[in-house]
Amino acid sequence: MVGAVGDDDFGRFLLSNLTAAGVDASRVASIDGSGSGMSVAIADGGGDYGAVIVSGANAATDPKGLADTTLWRDAGVLILQNEMPDAINLAAAKAAKWAGVPVCLNAAPYRPLADELIALVDILMVNAIEAEQFSGHAVGDIDSAVGAARQLSSRCATVVVTAGGDGVAGMRRGENPVVVPAIPVRLISTHGAGDVFAGSFAAALATGHAFAQCLEVANKAAAVHVST
């Protein structure tokens, strides 16, 4: 993982968890005098939530290290997300393209994307709200999620729209859409479901699974997460 945390208890906790989980965190900097990035969740009784994003030390990540060729050795896929500044995401995407590594942007939280960045993105991953913000069309069921994915595929070759309890819509430009139905579970909380989905999808992609299989693997992982 590449990024930055603050010199606070949150930063130490995050680095400890990464190391315990077997993640190479040697490229996660600790920034003196800065707070670690935080996502403050506001949940409702149904398990859905909104989040207040405080980027903190994320904004201080140094893009220079992204050009180190050893970073990309044996890399299977790059995941980007919008808690990092566009300049960092752009530098990472350029380096990944140079190394022949596919780029997946989990575009959360929503913000308009620069054409230079979107041109480097192979897979755009959004939830229903973000899909609506990007496409301008309401996403309230799986059919409208397919429609949003189809529209967004004009900008990005592969689009994934996660629609919560309505399932997942995937679209690869020039191909028929792939729809994966939601798995019925007892909902505890949706907090973090998008992260679990994105990570599981990318892991499946990196190990050679087909697109539809990646969607199914990620869908199952997210279902386990929201129900536990």
DSSP 187-211: ----TTHHHHHHHHHHHHHHTT--H
CA distances from 212 to 17, 61, 80, 204 (A): 31, 34, 21, 10
Q: State how far the Cα of 110 lies from the Cα of 74, in Å rounded to an integer.
A: 30
Q: Return the structure tokens found at 132.
A: 């609506």
Reduce the DSSP state of residue 57 to 3 states and report it: helix
Q: Say what the pLDDT of residue 47 is.
A: 59
**For residue 40, what pLDDT band results from cuts at 50, 70 and 90?**
confident
CA-based nearest residue to 209, from 223, 225, 220: 220
**For residue 41, what pLDDT band results from cuts at 50, 70 and 90?**
confident
Reduce the DSSP state of residue 97 to 3 states and report it: helix
Which domains, from first to last, does the chain contain?
Answer: 1-62 (no CATH), 75-228 (3.40.1190.20)
Q: Return the structure tokens found at 183.
A: 């798995």
**For residue 48, what pLDDT band results from cuts at 50, 70 and 90?**
low
CA-based nearest residue to 37, from 13, 10, 18, 16: 10
Alpha-carbon torsion (54, 60, 63, 69), positive or negative: negative
Asked whether the beta carbons of 144 and 138 are under 8 A apart, the reply is yes
Other CB atoms within a 10 A radius of the CB of residue 199 amount to 16
